[in-house]
Structure formats: structure tokens, C-alpha cells
Amino acid sequence: MEEESLQIVVQYQEETTPESSETVVNILTQEGLDESLKAHTRFAPEQLTVLERARDLNDFTGGQGDILMSYPPRPGESLNIYLGLGHRDSLNARSFQNVAAKLSKKIAKLNLQAVTLDLSQPSGLDPFTTIKPFLEGIAIGAYTFSKYFSDKSPFPLGKLTIVIPDYMDKAKTRIAIHDAAHNLMASNIARHLTNEASNHKTPNKFEQLIRTLLNQTHHRMYTLDYEELGKENLNLIRAVGQAGSDLPKLLIIEDIKPNRTFTLGIVGKAVTFDAGGLMIKSSADLPHMREDVAGAAAVVGAMSVLESLKLDYNIVAAIPIAENLIDSHSYRPADVCFTRRGLTVEINNTDAEGRLLLADAFLYMQDKYKLNAIMDVATLTGAITRALGNRMAGFFTNNEDLADLLTGAYSKSLEKFWRMPLEHAYSPMLKSNFADIRNDPGEPKAITAALFLECFIHNNLPWLHLDVGSIVNPSINDPLYGNYEFATGIPSLTLIEFFRMLNRHLERFPGHH
């Protein structure tokens, strides 16, 4: 969804007098439908008749995602939409997110501009597990990347009135809406950056896109260009991008305040187009290589809303930006690169470039900043998809506290992750006959890629690695993101929740005062 404004109005049930022309969305569980039909409550007699006939015909039973349209008999009267949530005892935030995504498709198809959402039932609802995921589902489900269409069709909804039960706290509801709005801003930024065409996000253009998006924040940004990368001995980034249409660079984004004593570093991989280098990718894979910036895109999305999170610690983001292309300047298989701290790397796979970018960024960050923890987000391996499929991403860490915080974060964001083993039994595979280590030790590739990265984490610094290549695109018929079309923006929402959770648990990490 593009950034059209959506007016959101919150009303208690007793205050509700929807305009006759507005569409009313009535949410029901399967049990709630049965109870309404049995007791003849909640709905007008003519509505109950429609619901009873639909249930008897098995057209609408209140199952999760069921939608029933009840068209008004006369022009100007309300259109009623009945939306099923499934069984009451299985309700959760994901239920609301998924049904909202399905509803958004109906809103777009019918070109509805004003909708009243009746959340007055079922009972026992919390705004953070109902309204927040519902708004996220509406926006995520409605998303489209229409920048290059001559005839754009923006999402039509301009006003959403949410009717809440009397027991639900309005202040808490507004906080839930506020959180949802910032989450969606971050998600949209991540999705837009990832979906952008590669000829419009070469390294120079991608840097400018990021600077423009973050221009309204108070973050300090500076860039190391190709020459400055050389002066800093960041030779791995230089090697990967030296054949690009623009030369590679390292963009640093600082959110630093003088009274903060804890600093988190975060690195987002940005390969603006990955042809694989001289070990070129297949023709089937190449069209998707615009998406190799997804890690950086999620980091930028999360950084865009930092000020709203009111964190008590510093965050420094590093975005290594390069194109992995082919010409006479391409780095070659069997090349050997010297790194900032002297470790040498044999290049035995030019299509294992992302880890080289991350490695240099790790070294620079650890030398320039007093970090208490570091994390990275990258579309690093295809192996993570072979291991986990495309419904979840993998994470690796050397620190149990980071693992706990990430687990709490993705349980709130509803983005799925699975912890992968940082298995050191495979570490001997890193050895090279021509250098200290090689960049592609072989299978199991997601694990050995993580072990390669760990070589550049010093003094046992707490480190978290998110390998998100498996979830850049949705799986077929994904209930939230739709079919395999637009990038998901994952893990931007998890990063925001992780930042919040870390803020509450800084004392768990050494060096915090």
C-alpha cells in the first residue's frame, strides 16, 4: 500500500451511529454466530435471516476468513460484510491479521472508501492482540508496488471507524493504533526499497533513497566511498563491488545520545543487484536479484521509527552497498583478500558475496564504536530455504540473552523464525589451502556461512545473525502476504519489537551501566 492517509476513529459501542452510506464489517467467531442466531441478539431481524440462510447453505459459518456480503435493498443504505474469525478458543493476533488481509482485498475490489469495523464482540479482547494486528493485516494485505504503472490504483479506504466494546480502554487502544502505524511505516519502507527496480537503486541511487527516507529523523549519516574503504582496509566490500555500475560504499547511520551507555550495532546487507559475479547465477534466479537488499531495507525501515520508540540506548547501523556484476574488474575465484585485522580470505565462490560485505562492516563497527552487542540482517543463503522452507527465517547467535529477546520479539511481530545451530564441528571446513579461511566452506551452507561471519566477531561480543533469504517473498497463497509477488518487508516488524525488548533488558548484557 502506498502512503495514502487513513483516518482512524475509535468509538465505544454505545456511541456508534454509523452513517447510512458506510459499510459495516461485523466480526464473528463460529460460536458467536451460533449464539446470535439462537438468542436473536446483536443483529437486526433481517440480518439474522441472511446469516441463518447463509449458515444453512454452508456459505458462511464464521470460519476463519469466511466473508459474507449482504447488499442493501435500497441505495444509500449500509452494506454489511460479515467476517469470520474461526473458533473462539483458537483466537489470537495472527487470526486478526490474516482475516484483515483477506478483507483488504474485498475493500479494494469494491472500492470502499469508508468502513465501520464492529469489534464489540467477541468478549475479552485486548487492543494489542486485536486492533493492532487487524490494522497491520489491512495494510499488509492491501500493499502494492505501483510506482511504474502509468495507471495507478491506490487503496481506496480513507476512513476506518473502529467500534470497541465498553470494557476496552481507549487510551490503550490509541497506543495500539500508534504502534501499528509506526510498524506499517517501517514495513512499507522495507517493501518499497526491496521492490524497487535495480536500475533505479544502483549503489549511488540506493544510498540517496535511504538518505531521503531518513531525512526527517535526527540520525547522523556518513558514507565511506571506494577510496575511503581502501584507506580503512575494508577490502572485502571493495572486491565485491568493484565491477558494479557504481562503486561500492559503506553507509553509517547513527542514533547516538551522549547520556546513553549501551550501544547496539546492526548491519544490513545491500547488494543492489546480484548477478553472482563471474560464477553467474541461473536465468531463473536473476530476475529476483533486485531483492538482495532486503536485509538493509528492513534495517532502514526499523531505523525510520526509532524516535517513536524512545529507547535508552544507542543504535549504529551499517549498510554495505554494492553490485555483484561482471566485467574486467570483477573479483575472481581464487583471489585472496586482506582484511582490516589481517585475516586473509580466499574467494572460492564469487556468489557468496554477502558474507564478505557483512564481515568488513563487522570489523569497522567494532573498531569505531564501543559496542555492547551486534546483529546483522541478510539474504545470505539459499540453504536457509532448503532447511526451513519459505514460511520462516533462520537465526544464529552466540548469546542466549539475544536468543531470548529475539524469540520474544518475533512472537509479538508474528514474523516466524527458527533458531539454527552454530555448530563448530563444521569450523575446520573454513580452512583454505591458500589463505587463512575461504568464503564458501560448503554444505551445510547456512551453518558454514554463519561460522564464516563468526570469524569477524571479536572478544565474544554478543552477536545475532538473521538469515532472511527464505522469507523475502511470500509463499504461494500466504494468508497475509498473498502470492509470490511483492517483497514481504520481513523482518522489519521483528526488529522494532527486538529494539523494544532490548530496551527493557539492557542489564542482561555486560558493559551496561
Q: Are residues 386 and 335 in the same domain?
A: yes
Section 77-86 average pLDDT: 90
pLDDT at 157 > cutoff 50 = yes
Is residue 486 in some structural domain? yes
**What band does 162 get if pLDDT is binned at 50, 70 and 90?**
confident
Q: Are residues 32 and 147 in the same domain?
A: yes
CA atoms within 13 A on the CB side of 468: 33
Is residue 88 in some structural domain? yes
Is residue 175 in some structural domain? no
Is residue 184 in some structural domain? no
**Angle, nearest 10°, between helix axes 294-303 and 492-504?**
50
* Predicted local distance difference test score (pLDDT) of residue 512: 58
Q: Are residues 138 and 253 in the same domain?
A: no
* Predicted local distance difference test score (pLDDT) of residue 118: 86
* Burial label, 342 (beta-carbon count in 10 A; 0-12, 13-18, 19+): exposed
Q: Is the peptide bond before 441 cis (omega within 30 degrees of 0)?
A: no
Q: Which of 164, 181, 212 is the last residue of a domain?
A: 164
The number of residues in the chain equals 513
Percentage of the chain exceeding pLDDT 90: 69
Q: Are residues 136 and 214 in the same domain?
A: no
Q: Please say whether the beta carbons of 264 and 372 come within 8 A.
A: yes
pLDDT at 317 > cutoff 60 = yes
Higher pLDDT, 154 or 452: 452
Is residue 190 in some structural domain? no
Mind giving me the DSSP string for 13-79? GGG----TTSEEEEEE-HHHHHHHHHHT-SS-HHHHHHHHHHHHTTS----TT-EEEE--SSTTSPP
Q: Decide if 53 is catalytic.
A: no
pLDDT at 437 > cutoff 80 = yes
Is residue 179 in some structural domain? no
**What band does 3 get if pLDDT is binned at 50, 70 and 90?**
very low
Q: Are residues 349 and 476 in the same domain?
A: yes
| Total number of domains constituting the chain | 2
Section 98-125 average pLDDT: 85
* Nearest Cα to Cα of residue 135 among 167, 169, 93: 93
pLDDT at 168 > cutoff 90 = no
Section 459-485 average pLDDT: 85
* Predicted local distance difference test score (pLDDT) of residue 155: 80
Q: Which of 279-288, 292-301, 397-406 has the lowest mean pLDDT?
A: 279-288
Q: Which of 264-273, 281-290, 370-379 has the lowest mean pLDDT?
A: 281-290
Q: How far is CA 303 from the centre of its chain?
A: 12
Higher pLDDT, 387 or 146: 387
Q: Are residues 153 and 297 in the same domain?
A: no
Which one from 355, 412, 438, 445 is the annotated catalytic residue? 355
Higher pLDDT, 472 or 124: 472
Section 430-459 average pLDDT: 96
Q: Are residues 130 and 206 in the same domain?
A: no
Q: Are residues 121 and 254 in the same domain?
A: no
Section 111-140 average pLDDT: 84
**What band does 123 get if pLDDT is binned at 50, 70 and 90?**
low
Q: Are residues 49 and 115 in the same domain?
A: yes
**What band does 398 get if pLDDT is binned at 50, 70 and 90?**
very high
pLDDT at 195 > cutoff 50 = yes
Section 502-508 average pLDDT: 93
Section 408-423 average pLDDT: 95
CB neighbour list of residue 41: distance below 8 Å, 6 or more residues apart? 35
Which one from 205, 281, 416, 500 is the annotated catalytic residue? 281
Section 317-323 average pLDDT: 98
Q: Are residues 138 and 285 in the same domain?
A: no
Dihedral over Cα of 33, 35, 38, 41: its sign: negative
Provide the CATH number for the domain around residue 58: 3.40.220.10
Is residue 131 in some structural domain? yes
Percentage of the chain exceeding pLDDT 70: 95
DSSP assignment letter at 5: -
Section 107-131 average pLDDT: 83
pLDDT at 505 > cutoff 90 = yes
* Predicted local distance difference test score (pLDDT) of residue 318: 98
Q: How far is CA 412 from the centre of its chain?
A: 13
**What band does 20 get if pLDDT is binned at 50, 70 and 90?**
low
Q: How far apart are CA 274 and CA 472, in angstroms?
A: 15
Q: Decide if 152 is catalytic.
A: no
Q: Please say whether the beta carbons of 257 and 306 come within 8 A.
A: no
* Nearest Cα to Cα of residue 299 among 148, 494, 509, 63: 494
Provide the CATH number for the domain around residue 357: 3.40.630.10
Q: Are residues 140 and 206 in the same domain?
A: no
* Nearest Cα to Cα of residue 472 among 377, 407, 403: 377
* Predicted local distance difference test score (pLDDT) of residue 15: 60
Is residue 385 in some structural domain? yes
Q: Are residues 115 and 253 in the same domain?
A: no
* Predicted local distance difference test score (pLDDT) of residue 425: 97
**What band does 1 get if pLDDT is binned at 50, 70 and 90?**
very low
Q: Provide the residue range defining the domain that includes 40.
A: 7-164
Q: How far apart are CA 415 and CA 392, in angstroms?
A: 7
What strands lie across the sheet with 437-438, from one edge to the other? Answer: 336-338, 344-346, 437-438
pLDDT at 64 > cutoff 50 = yes
